[in-house]
Amino acid sequence: MSDVRHVLVLPDRDAAEEVAAELEARLDLSEEPELVRDALAGEDDAEDAQWLVVLEDPDGLHDPALLDSLAAAHEGWLERD
């Protein structure tokens, strides 16, 4: 399989932390998901930031449908290439 990176986009830090914790509990991860604050283009207000949960998946084992469903349950989505 090819090296894969999944990016889940969440509305705030609390949602991102919850999703990251749930990923760790549900999946056999070799490393913790990375949390990244992503300010929206042209926005200076900290309230106008999305949070990304970046999940490395070097063996392509994680089901994108499951990841998308988990993000959607927290008002987010799985970024698609």
- pLDDT, tens digit (0-9, with 9 covering 90-100), for 14-55: 999 999 999 999 998 888 999 999 876 655 555 668 999 999
User: What does the alpha-carbon distance between residue 22 and residue 81 come to, in Å, rounded to a whole number?
Assistant: 23
Which of 4-18, 46-60, 65-79 has the least mean pLDDT? 46-60
The residue written with tokens 């994680």 in the block is: 62
Q: Terminal CA-to-CA distance of the chain, rounded, Å?
A: 17
Q: The domain spanning residue 61 has which CATH number?
A: 3.30.70
Number of domains in the chain: 1
Residues of the domain holding 42: 4-78
Residues 6+ apart with CB under 8 A from 56: 4, 5, 30, 31
How is residue 10 written in tokens?
């969440």
